[in-house]
Structure formats: structure tokens, C-alpha cells
A and B are shown apart, each in its own frame.
Chain A
């Protein structure tokens, strides 16, 4: 008991000290925790501020980037309501901020290259939202409120988030300047072609006078040499004509005149132009043109150019004793089809993708030293497209080539001024 009492006496002051110690320790821990938490809070706050600043900076950067894009950019929600447009779009279309929230289709008037109005359901943005795919247009025109006509290329793409279309983005490029340059280029080619033709016609006629003996007799060797000059000059004429035609087709300045065409007669005329080569190479020409084929309403100059190129190619690229078959058949009630087939050198597989490209020539015919400008099929494709038709081919090297052209009976071509 004494011992206990004495212990108690001993413990009491000690337990108080202990409690004070615990309390102090607790306060110290709390203090440290506070310091720590406070530091953490400060760090979180700092990080938060930094993140906010970064977001603001990123947003400003994105906005600056979008503003700096030279092309017009318009974003809409899934209903086609404008949620954003950049500075370039605003300037090009003469839009104010009030356009935000409006339906793009309702405020943008579109026309195609020929000036035909594009209905709302065919607007690129509408198409990309309904078809759920990227739409790229050929030359389109925005008709602004102030009636200013703006030539553009448009691409529209849906914005997809978690497999769901949440809107669309339309980007358009002002091509006014490019068109102007194209025009200057074509006008240059047009005048240059005229100037180039003048000395060519002079050479042509003077050599013809010499060859025909109108300027006195010439010997056989002189005749041979003059014939080379005459033929070379003729090739030059063809090249200048091709260049001129390409520039006119590119610019769309071929004066289109729709007349009823008798294909059978026209094919005979074109065949006659190549009669010399057909005879030299002993080529067999077969024609399958139904006698009931009606006259077809189209542009005779373009159709003649098309036939000349396809038939001349068949003659040029078919070896002696070969066969060329020209067929015309109605493919359905609205279309007819022209087929020019040969059993000639063919187009190598590697060249098939490029065959309609300007100035391209396949290696197999270049190796055979067959002359050509590489403009013929480019022109043919351009003509077919201008007349609202389609062209395709089947070809195998050293077996032959078959060109198919399909045309509507009454091609919808708008008359354009030069």
C-alpha cells in the first residue's frame, strides 16, 4: 500500500507531464500536418492556376492559329448550326458575329461552276452530316449578300466523338487568284498559239508549192528532204493545235454549239483523215453503227476532237495488219456508248493510272518512237466530262485496248462566253 501510495505520488506529477507531453506532441503533429497540408494546398492552388493559365494560353493559341488560317473555317453542331467561324471565313463571306447560332445552309447561297444553284440538300456540309463522310467539291461559288461571287473549293468533314457525329467542319479556299492566273495563262497560250501558227502555215504552203513543182522542177532527193520538212512542220502544227485546245478546254472557253450529229458520217470523215496511215499499216477497220441510230444532239467540234483522238490513237498504237473496231450502241434509254477497240500495243499496267494525265506518255510506245504530245487522252477526258459523260478503258500490253465512252443523249451543257 505504501508502495502504491508512493508510486501514485510519483506517477501523478509524471502523468501530468506525460499528458502535457502528449498534448504538445499532438499540437506539434497538427502544426506539421497544417504546414504540410497548407503547402499541399498551395501547391494544388499553384498547379490549378498554372493549368488555368495553360488552358487560357492554349485556347488563345488555338484561336490565334484558327484566325491565322488563310482558308475559311466554319464549325457547326450536328444540326448545321454555326458554333464557330474564323476570321478568314468572316472576311470571305462578309459575316459578322451575329451569324453565330444560325444555320449554315440558311445563310450561305451556293452555285456550281456553271452558275446553277446548289439546293440545300446538296450543300457539302449537309451531305457530310447525312452521308457521314468527308465531301470535297470541285469549283463552287458562294453568292454573298452583296451579290459578290466568290469562287472556292470546299471540303466538309463530320466531327466524330465516341462514334457519334457531334457536328461538322467546313473548310473553303478562295480560288479567285488561281482562276485569274489560269485565265492569264490561257490567254497567253491563245495568243501565242496564233503567233506560232502564222510561221507554220507559211512554211506549210511554201514547201507545198515546192513539192508540187509550182516553183519549178525538183529532183527526187530534194523532194525527200522537203517532205521531211513538210512532215515535221505538220507535227508542229498538231502540237500547237493540241496546246491551244487544252488551254481552251481548261478555261472552258470552247464555244459550245449544240447541233444534231450524225455519228456514222462523222466517224467516216475522221477515218478518212487517217486513211493514209490505215493503208500504210494495212489495218482493218470494222464499224458497228446501227443504221437506226438517231442524230445525237451535242457539240460537233468537241465530238470530232474526241473521235479524232481516240481513232488516231488506235491507228498509231496498233501494229501493221491489226484491227480497229468502232462501235456505237445505246446502253440504256438515256445514254449511248462509243467503243473504240484495237488489238495494238496496249497500255502497260504501270501506266494505266496516269493515262489521262496531261503530257503523260506510256513508255512502251515511246520506246517504239511513235510521236505524240501526251495531250490527246487528257483532252478526250476533259471533253467527255464537259459533255456530261464518262470514259473508261480495258487494256493489256501487246493484246489491245478498248476505250468506252458513255454520253447522255442530250448533254446538259451551258453556253459560256469566251
Chain B
């Protein structure tokens, strides 16, 4: 994996955002952050990162809202997205993420090492 790839973390929990940013930066990635869905969407469209880490349960715009909006243009359709949430995928979530370029991870069920390895494989 080339160094300097960009990752946007859209996550409202400050502690979660910080630890993810620290770990990703240590792995040589360039990280930008957004603390709600709306800011995240705007930043994604402006910065066009190589990968997006997306929470679902967020103020202003939910993660699913961001996902739907991103899918309205060709860049948003192909950018790899890792949904990182503590919500279980229910029928509604499954239908929304179906056929989209994203992976669904439950935060408590993955350690940072496994998240990093998923990010790396998506960026390579």
C-alpha cells in the first residue's frame, strides 16, 4: 500500500474518532474528520478521499442518508466505504446498503488491527 492515501472518518463520538485517527495516522494514512453526517457528506464531496469510514447513528444526517446522497454521483458510487457502527444490520439497513461499495462492521466485534487490515485491503 502506498503511503499518503486519504481516509475520511465520519463519526460523532469524539473518543472513537480520536483513536481511529491516531491508529490510521500511525499506519501512514492522511486522515480528515467530520463529526456529523451532513459535514461528512460535504467534506467527502469536496475532498474526494480514497476511503470513507462511516458511522450510522449520527446527528444532522444519518450514515444511511450520507450513503444514499453519495450514490447520486459516479465518484460516490465507487468510493470504498466501511460502515463502522454499533447498530446491528436490520432489514432496512440491509436493503439500503445492498449493491453498494461498502462493508458493514460492528465496532465491538472488531479490534483496530482487523479494521486496519480491512482498510489496507480496500486501498490496495
Contact B108 A200 (CB under 8 A): yes
Which residue from A240, A248, A415 sits with its C-beta under 8 Å from B108? A240
Contact B108 A253 (CB under 8 A): no
B95 CB to nearest A CB, Å:
9
Contact A417 B88 (CB under 8 A): no
In the complex the two chains form, what is the Cα distance from A255 to B98 in whole Å?
Answer: 13
Q: Taking each of A198, A214, A248, A415, which has the highest tally of chain B beta carbons within 10 Å of its own beta carbon?
A: A198
Residues from chain A with a CB closer than 8 A to the CB of B20 are 205
Which residue from B19, B108, B109 sits with its C-beta under 8 Å from A209? B19
In the complex the two chains form, what is the Cα distance from A194 to B111 in whole Å?
Answer: 17
Which residue from A194, A206, A214, A418 sits with its C-beta under 8 Å from B86? A194
In the complex the two chains form, what is the Cα distance from A212 to B26 in whole Å?
Answer: 12
Which residue from B26, B57, B91, B107 sits with its C-beta under 8 Å from A201? B107
For the complex, is B45 an interface residue (Cβ under 8 Å from A)? no
Main SS of the interface on chain A?
A: helix
In the complex the two chains form, what is the Cα distance from A201 to B106 in whole Å?
Answer: 9
**CB-CB under 8 A for A202 and B13, given A194-B57, A237-B108, A240-B108:** yes
Contact A197 B22 (CB under 8 A): no
Which residue from B87, B92, B113 sits with its C-beta under 8 Å from A194? B87
CB-defined interface of A236-249 with B at 8 Å, one 1/0 digit per residue?
01001100100010
For the complex, is B123 an interface residue (Cβ under 8 Å from A)? no
Residues from chain B with a CB closer than 8 A to the CB of A244 are 88
Main SS of the interface on chain B?
A: helix
Contact A237 B23 (CB under 8 A): no
B8 CB to nearest A CB, Å:
19
Number of interface residues of A (CB under 8 A): 27
Which residue from B13, B23, B57, B111 sits with its C-beta under 8 Å from A204? B111
Residues from chain A with a CB closer than 8 A to the CB of B15 are 202, 206
In the complex the two chains form, what is the Cα distance from A416 to B91 in whole Å?
Answer: 8
CB-defined interface of B108-119 with A at 8 Å, one 1/0 digit per residue?
110111000000
For the complex, is B99 an interface residue (Cβ under 8 Å from A)? no
Residues from chain B with a CB closer than 8 A to the CB of A417 are 91
**CB-CB under 8 A for A248 and B88, given A201-B108, A205-B111, A255-B94:** yes
Contact A202 B23 (CB under 8 A): no
- Which residue from chain B places its CB closest to the CB of A416 in the assembled complex? B91
Which residue from A194, A197, A209, A241 sits with its C-beta under 8 Å from B112? A209
Contact B107 A257 (CB under 8 A): no
In the complex the two chains form, what is the Cα distance from A368 to B51 in whole Å?
Answer: 47
For the complex, is A149 an interface residue (Cβ under 8 Å from B)? no
For the complex, is A208 an interface residue (Cβ under 8 Å from B)? yes
In the complex the two chains form, what is the Cα distance from A261 to B94 in whole Å?
Answer: 19
Contact B112 A202 (CB under 8 A): no
Contact A255 B91 (CB under 8 A): yes
- Which residue from chain A places its CB closest to the CB of B86 in the assembled complex? A197
- Which residue from chain B places its CB closest to the CB of A230 in the assembled complex? B111
In the complex the two chains form, what is the Cα distance from A209 to B16 in whole Å?
Answer: 12
Contact B108 A418 (CB under 8 A): no
Q: Which residues in window 200-243 of A have CB below 8 A to B?
A: 200-202, 204-206, 208-209, 212, 214, 237, 240-241
CB-defined interface of A182-209 with B at 8 Å, one 1/0 digit per residue?
0000000010011001101110111011
In the complex the two chains form, what is the Cα distance from A244 to B19 in whole Å?
Answer: 26
Q: Taking each of B13, B19, B57, which has the highest tally of chain A beta carbons within 10 Å of its own beta carbon?
A: B19
- Which residue from chain A places its CB closest to the CB of B15 in the assembled complex? A202
Contact A206 B108 (CB under 8 A): no
B92 CB to nearest A CB, Å:
6
A179 CB to nearest B CB, Å:
19
In the complex the two chains form, what is the Cα distance from A253 to B92 in whole Å?
Answer: 11
For the complex, is B89 an interface residue (Cβ under 8 Å from A)? yes
In the complex the two chains form, what is the Cα distance from A29 to B62 in whole Å?
Answer: 107
**CB-CB under 8 A for A209 and B23, given A198-B13, A241-B109:** yes
Q: Which residues in window 1-45 of B have CB below 8 A to A?
A: 13, 15-16, 19-20, 22-23, 26
- Which residue from chain B places its CB closest to the CB of A200 in the assembled complex? B108
Knowing that A190-B88, A202-B16, A237-B108 touch, tell me 17 more A-B residue pairs with CB under 8 angstroms: A193-B86, A198-B13, A198-B86, A201-B108, A202-B15, A205-B19, A205-B20, A208-B112, A209-B19, A209-B22, A209-B112, A212-B113, A214-B22, A241-B109, A248-B88, A255-B94, A257-B94
Could you write out 21 A-B pairs with CB less than 8 Å apart?
A: A193-B86, A194-B57, A197-B108, A198-B13, A202-B13, A204-B111, A205-B19, A205-B20, A205-B23, A205-B111, A205-B112, A209-B19, A209-B22, A214-B22, A214-B23, A240-B108, A241-B108, A244-B88, A253-B90, A418-B90, A418-B91
